[in-house]
Structure 1
Amino acid sequence: MRMFEVTPQEFANAIAKLMGEWSRYGQRLEEQQGANIDESCRWNRKKLRPNDVRAIRDMKLSGESNRNIADLFGVNPATVSRIVRGIYHKEVV
């Protein structure tokens, strides 16, 4: 016997409700903190500045691993790979 039984639709509705609440929380946080909020905390905004992107590319050219670079900049190793390959931040040279 299961302790909790929910239908897939009930589960999806609960997740949608939580995501909506989280989004509203983020919007209120941005409104309260305005321009004082750190860019890396903003919703769906780039964490890396152009100088960071150049540094990532230079570090990769000097043989550093994606994991080490990612740890230094607080991003995913896949992001480092995409930056190095020019998929992300194409505009930065």
Structure 2
Amino acid sequence: MICKNCEITDIPYVYGKADGNTREAQGLYRHVFPERQCPAKCTFSAIYRRLRETRSFCPVVANRGIERTARIPNLEMEVLDTIEEHPEKNTKDVVAEFQVST
């Protein structure tokens, strides 16, 4: 659902009034803004979480389009085994040993 800025700013307000209860927030939103389409329950918590984490209503787009590294199960197991066998090693040492990046 694409919201206007004024609608997005109302979401955390209503979510807070509902004390973080998404179902109650939906009901309150419908009551206060009957002319608007009510967001899904998960939208209330997602917008609130984004605002707390990024201090912005806008989604973070910095890493979009960057190709993710494929997971390599054998390498993962080797790294975990090394960490278990040598708990004194720090992340920098393990990265250097396996020539991977964090």
In the superposition, the TM-score normalised over structure 2's length comes to 0.30
Which of the pair has more CA radius of gyration?
2
| Greater helix proportion | 1
